[in-house]
Structure 1
């Protein structure tokens, strides 16, 4: 491959993005808008990472992430930029439940990731003893948090373990598949961390958060999906990258990185690609391996990042069978506290939650369960049929559903979600400090600034903008997003 000799002056520098998940794709998309030449390489034959659609009973559904936070702009803006604006669709219902103490109970309102501002909202979910423990909180002395603290430890100290076990755990588990007693409050729930640092009553602090949110109340939905599945976003971004002149290579594992006198050599299984800059958008273990020679300190830090694995069990029933049992109402699904000892940790009623699923399969009822969390991954070694059977047993106990599915699909996400233990953000700062010592190389993805789709895209934009600035020798203004080949009308 011929190397550009005028990369800074002409704006034709070549950047290689390693990793074809949504972060890598977003980075490639952003880099093209600055006038740089881009090659994206992905080790597998599929783009999108944990964003993936698949077939269930002849209907396309999400088999990975199914929604994106709309109150942050990055993901929605990217979807619009690549021609999916007309397909954005909020959930048809956001009414969820908690399966606890043997019953499906309405998810309490007025909380911040399970931490209440008003204990009265938790009746039925917590015991009378648990409610009484919360009532003592304003009389407690302030709890020191230092530079960071585990969410579960802090909330249990202020409000009692029952709040953590019945509400905080299942809600955080739905995002991180993690353990609330290990998860960093500073990284996972920064609003609560700021309240904790101020000292005083946690209940009063949550009420202040809610009042501030009400004062700046945004219109529009909190979450958005995409008609056809969130899993359609990666290919739309890939189409835009190709349309903008970018090259995408799948089935191309990167085996090593080497600094040269004027850039980088990227060694794949078939060739060496020369580049002026690199965006490393891979999981921590892969980034650790690739940086071992050029940044041993960053490599060691990345090697210390732990991951949780999980499985999604997607089930399709005849809608008439579900209706006949009266088993499911209009809820979007339910969460399951680990303390109750169930196998499934959540269930989403896709047909209720997403109108596009209901419209695409009017004779079917589609739902899915999730199994596995950090430290509880033995279930993932079961056969697919076992995971289906245990999901059906838990569903029957929770909802009374006795129907047999007409189709099933089990999707395993091994090493799916990085864990954010206490001190995680300090680790991330150390990684970025070490990586910044390398010329025109940056990292991005779920490891660094959040596991949600908007957070991954934001980290990709940060990496792309810093690389562009490095190659230009100056700070580059925020670029215009590259338009995709699909129009807003879906043409």
Structure 2
């Protein structure tokens, strides 16, 4: 749900003109929903393209994602939006879901029987942890309760219950794949809310995990966990933008908003790219920093809270190989890398194995990608593209034995790509909502609030649109990063 905030009530006959600032997936989803709710919509985007962190591209003539590559399918928002804009026939689950963990110099099968790396039993992490680490998990049942209070860092809590080895070898790489953050800073309440609630109800952490697993076992979810789109998830915002235009909405790129002010009695005036616009309502669908800049004049307290939200930068290195050169590549969809092992890359995806449409574009080509950069890692991202490719190739060779020269490489940098959810993030978001609620006709949404994944961003956009147009808004959803 977003920080928006006029009370829900009977839908007005004419919601009027709503301006959406930002054409990432959240802004486009908000525009799509506003049009469904009867509003007139203009979307303003500072850059020359729509889509934000979702970016389709190509390498060696094969279509690939240069940003996020999959979306959680067990939440309905992203898959539902894809279907609504005509992509139902292109939705595809991963061709393989088996992943590995590159730890202590060996690729090991990703353990099962855990919740974001937190096991229900020591046996679940056999082969990943040392004998000492496994024994430490077993002592969890004998420890007194560890109070989580209003919030606690994931790493701090799990290490106190199960030992640091669980955090460093499994929790850290799994959370790093979602947030590019530090497990010892990331909020348990915001990042793994189901585990936070279970920890409140149980003395033992392993018992809490088993309780969660038991509930899942009694009513197992159907269908794949994740979903992709033929041609790349980056095609989703393009399809949403086409739908917005087809419904009469306007999308203006190269139109950075430099001023946002209220006008009497309840309207808004915006200055964007040298033009002035009037609006009945505004959705600010920007990252926290730019949103803070726009809100400073009318909502200084909300702006101050948003300005304090930190971001992690990262880079994706995409490499294409001749199939014959990569024939010995291990099975599976790729691997995660615990930072404690000291390698440069934090993960690698075997994209041609994971997505059937990539393999279908050129069966004689093998496409891989690696990711580098976590919160606070400025040195790595300061290297030039050639150095990042070389570091990726070095780690790939060490992990998989792949030493061949790639036929093509691409480096895509995402500066301030992922908002960080430290301890107390939920309280910060609540304060932002309280401040924004004082301004009728204003909503904010996006990855900085209740989840960094595509479905969570779309859900926040829908909630923003529904509140501004007087439609009922469902109860607040949990984050969990997706």
What TM-score do the two structures reach when normalised by structure 2?
0.95
Structure-2 separation of matches of 1:118 and 1:89: 33
Q: What's the secondary structure of 1:108's corresponding residue?
A: coil
Equivalent residue in structure 1 for 2:181, among 173, 178, 183: 178
Q: What's the secondary structure of 1:344's corresponding residue?
A: coil
What residue is the counterpart of 1:488 in the other structure?
none
Deviation at 1:12, TM superposition (A): 5.3
Q: What's the secondary structure of 1:378's corresponding residue?
A: helix
Q: What's the secondary structure of 1:80's corresponding residue?
A: helix
1:437–1:99 distance in 2 versus 1, CA, 3 Å:
same
Deviation at 1:215, TM superposition (A): 1.3
Q: What's the secondary structure of 1:449's corresponding residue?
A: coil
What residue is the counterpart of 1:484 in the other structure?
none
Q: What's the secondary structure of 2:376's corresponding residue?
A: coil
Query: Structure 1 residue runs of 4+, over 6 Å off?
Result: none
Structure-2 separation of matches of 1:310 and 1:12: 40
Q: Is the 8 A contact 2:121 2:137 kept in 1?
A: no
Does residue 286 (structure 1) correspond to residue 287 (structure 2)? The answer is: no
What residue is the counterpart of 2:409 in the other structure?
408
Deviation at 1:284, TM superposition (A): 0.4
Q: Is the 8 A contact 2:44 2:272 kept in 1?
A: no
Does residue 35 (structure 1) correspond to residue 38 (structure 2)? The answer is: yes
Q: Is the 8 A contact 2:12 2:469 kept in 1?
A: no
Deviation at 1:60, TM superposition (A): 1.2
Does residue 99 (structure 1) correspond to residue 102 (structure 2)? The answer is: yes
What residue is the counterpart of 1:225 in the other structure?
228
Structure-1 separation of matches of 2:216 and 2:13: 46
Cα offsets for 1:121-157 (capped at 9, x unmatched): 2111100010011111100000011100000000000
Gapped runs of 5+ residues in structure 1? 1-7, 470-474, 479-491
Deviation at 1:476, TM superposition (A): 4.8
Structure-2 separation of matches of 1:329 and 1:387: 22
What residue is the counterpart of 2:85 in the other structure?
82
Structure-1 separation of matches of 2:13 and 2:402: 64
Q: What's the secondary structure of 2:448's corresponding residue?
A: helix
Structure-2 separation of matches of 1:180 and 1:38: 40
What residue is the counterpart of 1:302 in the other structure?
306
Q: Is the 8 A contact 1:93 1:330 kept in 2?
A: no
Q: Is the 8 A contact 2:286 2:446 kept in 1?
A: yes
Deviation at 1:378, TM superposition (A): 1.6
Q: Is the 8 A contact 1:144 1:199 kept in 2?
A: no
Deviation at 1:329, TM superposition (A): 2.2
What residue is the counterpart of 1:134 in the other structure?
137
Q: What's the secondary structure of 1:411's corresponding residue?
A: strand
What residue is the counterpart of 2:28 in the other structure?
25
Equivalent residue in structure 2 for 1:258, among 242, 258, 261: 261
Q: Which structure exhibits the higher relative contact order, with contacts defined as CA atoms closer than 8 Å and separated by 6 or more residues? A: 2
What residue is the counterpart of 2:124 in the other structure?
121
Q: What's the secondary structure of 1:446's corresponding residue?
A: coil
Deviation at 1:377, TM superposition (A): 2.7
Gapped runs of 5+ residues in structure 2? 1-10, 475-482
Deviation at 1:269, TM superposition (A): 2.4
Q: Is the 8 A contact 2:152 2:187 kept in 1?
A: yes
What residue is the counterpart of 1:453 in the other structure?
454
What TM-score do the two structures reach when normalised by structure 1?
0.93
Structure-1 separation of matches of 2:433 and 2:32: 22
User: Once superposed, what is the RMSD of the aligned Cα atoms?
Assistant: 1.1
